[in-house]
Structure 1
Amino acid sequence: MHRKFMILTAAALVLGMSVSMAFALGGGNGRKGKFLYSKNCRSCHNGGTAADLSPADRTQAEWQATFSDMGKIKCSGDWTLSDEDINDIYTYLYDYAKDSPSPAKCS
């Protein structure tokens, strides 16, 4: 009985992590993400305060790795964005990465 409970608990944890990771890394609104990126990120990532940064500066895998560990994003502790907004920004950056069908530079 105890072993069965442990297996079910582990399965539930894996499923829960998969669902949260799917939400955290995709399925957002890229159009909204572009607006949010311009409003919240470009003010620093303009080559002055922080390095210039556009979606096409990284591959989709690199964006995924960055956003899967928010600790890699130095300024993330200062953000006042919701998880949904962060997911939208991620979706925009991922969808227009340098290896995507439509790489984009910020203007």
Structure 2
Amino acid sequence: MMYVTLAAAITAEIIGTLLMKQSDGFSRLWPSLGTIGCYLLAFTLLAQTLKAMEVGVAYAIWSGAGTAVVAAIGVLFLGEAASLPKVLGVVLVIGGVALLNLSGAH
């Protein structure tokens, strides 16, 4: 169950980040409110996850997965450049999260 809650926290964080882009520096009301709501939900779900998972592992998965997915969305759908350093950085983030998960998420 902790992985389901963590996945929901990651999803809320990703949506919140994408809405932040749409908020135009918090100058547009609805995307700004959506950003705040999504981040409140993300932190609430992350806090619930921490009841059953180590904080270092949970936070690494939450932030790493969010970073990797948002970077991929930026390249695939928002027209951002896919440079070798960016791709390598995402691969390293995913590898680091996998190593942390293997070393103590259970």
> Do the two structures share a fold, i.e. TM-score over 0.5?
no
- Normalized per residue, which structure has more helix? 2
TM-score, normalised relative to structure 2 = 0.29
TM-score, normalised relative to structure 1 = 0.28
Q: Which has the higher relative contact order, 1 or 2, with Cα contacts under 8 A spaced 6 or more apart?
A: 1
